[in-house]
Copies of this chain bind each other. A is one copy, B any other.
């Protein structure tokens, strides 16, 4: 069993804001992340697939094909997007935190990984914060 990871990048805007809450409570909870006019990040997305290397090609999954799947299913939607407004697979009532994004990206990608099995989604939001999801309930 070998784990192969492909990294893709995207740049996006977002804010953290619970619409049921007052402005005070939002700012108290989320600080500068609640700026109404948005802020943004350069995100790095690490997608790990596990499986046995094909005896002929030596690939668990062709990294180029994996890159294309990630671009079509995820980056196409998230790159240069507003994560609160623009992305069909992000529910409007969910905060676009790194923690929520890794679960949503897993659900978006998982049906399309047909060689090997999706093992981990890791999303790096800044040099100081990243989240990981392994499909665990």
Contacts and interface: CB of A to CB of B under 8 A. Distances in A.
A114 interface: no
Interface residues on A, range: 35 or more
A30 B64 CA distance: 9
Contact of A128 (B6, B86, B95): B6
Interface of A: 1-9, 11-14, 16, 18, 29-33, 35, 37-42, 48, 53, 56-60, 62-64, 67, 79-82, 85-86, 94-100, 102-103, 126-134, 136-137
Nearest to A79: B32
A133 B116 CA distance: 14
A62 B103 CA distance: 17
